[in-house]
Amino acid sequence: MRLSDLAERLGLEIEGDGDVQVTGAAPLEAAGARDLAFAAGAKWADALAASKAGALVLPQGMDAGGRPVLRSTRPRRDFARAATLLHPAPPIAPGVHPSAAVEPDAEIHPEATVGARAVVGSGARVGARSVLHAGAVLYPRVEIGQNCEIHAGCVLREDTRIGDRVVLHPGVLIGGDGFGFELGDDGAWEKVPQVGRVVIEDDVEIGAGTTVDRAALGVTRIARGVKIDNLVQVGHNCDIGEDSLIVAQSGLGGSTRLGRRVILMARTGIGGHVSMGDGSFAGVRSGIVRDVAAGQRVFGSPATTEQIWHRGVAALTRLPAALKRLRRLEKRVDRLDPPDEPA
């Protein structure tokens, strides 16, 4: 694309030669003369100076070294948008692959795509321009909206409902049984039937290897705009609010409630029947066992408020010096008052 055309598409101000052609997006250290790269601030200055990128996305005031530049108040975001335009997904022809297994009463929109060895169960529905990649499996009565992409190896259990523009990356399992058992009279574990379903609303993206359990009763719900990373476990009857973000290897116990725009950093664990309010935040490896108020930031395990956590971390860094001082004091006390001889 011409840089001027890219600037127009992105709504950005351009400085320098707008007729420069860019063919791809690349990091500063690997970019060539026909690549677009970006820098977000002063700490990138050395890499920027050494870069061979032909065009740049930079914040206001950052020196481009004479190269054409797109000025942005959010360089990382606008570079990502540029990369999307420069690297469009290849078109996928609609239709059902001959090796796919589709039940006669399933409904596949004529503009949808069903890949090799995919399975579409009885009563399932696939909307316009949605794609089931190779080996995806839809159990009976699964509903998928428009413009979705279900990657290879995904499994959607019965009665799962997927909205529009949902992306499930390889190996995602939606609607598996929740972990529900009760102790029987003989001491053996008896399974609690999991007869609910999963509802995923529009514009959700779920990373590879993530599992979302069906509800024991009712619905496990993932609301509009939620983004979930790889290897996340969402337990039965969870309710995840709009535009929340869950980072890799986190686990949500059954009946967890997240409000809107909640952020869980990597490896956060939440006990069952816990709520987090709108806009709350949990740091890496947080262990959450009680409710978190709206807007509150928690860290640590068991999780506590950000202020208390920082004080605790600061205290730990002073602990070795405090122990040395304690030992010196103990020696002084022993000299003043020697301990009793053993009997």
> What pLDDT is attached to residue 343?
57
Q: What is the Cα Rg of the chain in Å?
A: 27
Nearest to 197 by CA among 219, 168, 222: 219
Task: Please give the span between the terminal C-alpha atoms of the chain, in angstroms, as a whole number.
Answer: 91
Q: What is the reported pLDDT for 268?
A: 97
Question: Which secondary-structure segment (H or E) carries 219?
Answer: strand 219-222
- Strand 297-299 and strand 304-305: the pairing is antiparallel
Place of tokens 């020696």: 331
The domain made up of 3-86 has a fold known as 3.40.1390
pLDDT score at 335: 83
pLDDT tens digits, residue range 148-179? Answer: 999 999 999 999 999 999 999 999 999 999 99
225: left (phi over 0), alpha (psi -120 to 50) or beta: left
CA angle 50, 78, 246 (to 5 degrees): 105
Q: Are strands 281-282 and 297-299 parallel, antiparallel or unpaired?
A: parallel
Residues of the chain with CATH 3.40.1390.10: 3-86
Active site (catalytic) residues: 236
Q: Does domain 95-304 have CATH number 3.90.1300.10?
A: no
Sign of the torsion formed by the C-alpha atoms of 312, 315, 317 and 320: negative
Residue 132: strand, helix, or coil: strand
Name the token pair of 102: 């589709």
Residues 127 and 110: their CA atoms lie apart, in Å, by 9
pLDDT under 50 in the chain at which residues?
A: none
The residue type found at 67 is: R
In this predicted model, what pLDDT tens digit does every residue of 211-232 receive, in sequence order?
Answer: 999 999 999 999 999 999 999 9
- Give the per-residue pLDDT at 117: 98
DSSP symbols for 276-323 = E-TT-EE-TT-EE-S-B-TT-EEETTTTEEHHHHHHHHHHHHHHHHHH
Per DSSP, helices labelled H in the chain are: 3-10, 45-50, 75-86, 306-336
Model confidence pTM above 0.75: yes
What residue ranges of the chain are covered by domains with CATH 2.160.10.10? 95-304
pLDDT, position 318: 85
Strand partners of residue 252: 234, 270
Residue 16, pLDDT score? 94
